[in-house]
Structure 1
């Protein structure tokens, strides 16, 4: 089963793969340390919040976290601009949903590409519902220096730390001169080199790339996303490229088959409306009686 990043259309391994999920959680904790969020994740809940509530869009990241022996619900949102009034209304929906779902206090952190004039704002909805919106920007970090540091370590066979990897995953929130697409592709190439040099486990690599993508790819437009997918596909080794291509081709064939079936069902409905008998519809469309009954065409 796949989980799709709704903002980009890119596909990722689903969270319910236990091994992947546990590794992802540890990598996410590394990111929290890097950006200065003083909590330790206990569980990742993103997939459980993709469609919660009427009109509520997907939360970028949600989880339960621990600080000073207290469990809280943690929400992290990623965006390029400083939150607007509309954003703040949307965030309140997230906070309210989390409180209903888990009945914990909620902390909300916004990762923002722009330099921000404030670090937090308090919101009091009523006596029983208050929350703090923390704003974080990494503009004091220089992408050029992050890349140079890691490239030097690779050149001299020095250890690449979890904080080095976290800095690559958060690269679009730092200060840089290139386009967001260029900066992401550079980070992805370095991650591939790090994985190859260290003999990294495949699930570790997937978790690192997942966090890079889910935190950053929604900053790209549709054309840039296509370019990103195309270039990152070519970074894979020949075996991984073959397996990925095979999976995509199978998906396309399945989509075409499903599309043909949907077309036949539309024709069947029109024929029924014109007074054709079920036997005639079956003969003309090639559908079975079960197909028609399943769609209430009878």
Structure 2
């Protein structure tokens, strides 16, 4: 269902792009805006992993520097049928995590030191499974396409009047132009965020399957949301364009399923995961033996990554 919803939203974004180009700039202006947006987003796509990781000062770890985390990701990647992604740690107190990379062969997962201290082993496995689900679903590609379209619409909205007349050389009513210039980028942003929310639900579902314990992922979401609400992430606040990548919105802990939220309501996500756990009969399952303990150093500021 989420794939159908995503397809319909992308179709709506494409249709909106055509309408805005038609009303404001005609074919020539639409082509110019698309060229700018494609060039910008292609650069971002090919360099998305490096840009995102550098933005949050992430450092790569391996089996020697972070054996528990690295081994967990390797096991989960094998379960998901994915190549081993690069593993990064972000020195950040706020509990959170994200995945990046243009495809499974060029992917990375990143976890904050805060999430390593906050979650149990099972809960962290659920979070990493969620991020691997994003990689397996090629969500980076989906979001790049939507970003390209939304960027093109915003460009037309900003510069449409400079590109020439509308259909058959006749300018539309100036009031209509102004309204389209204001409302079209807003509508594009709303659609883009709706697609992002749809992908989060799907990553939760698949992540629950990969780790085998949706209830643990549900518990992790509750803990992360609580941490985000009380611990600011100054880097994310300074670079809000990266907010949609995280498993929970790092900016302010907003949980409402509003038009402008990049993430679904956390309560709704938890309810869906608990229903999945009941269906799987896995509410009490563990990713590994002894998973109740947190080998990442609960309550400490440092862990096995050195």
TM-score after normalising by structure 1: 0.25
Q: Which one has a bigger Cα radius of gyration? A: 1
Higher helix proportion: 2
Which structure has more relative contact order (CA 8 Å, sep 6+)? It is: 2
Higher strand proportion: 1
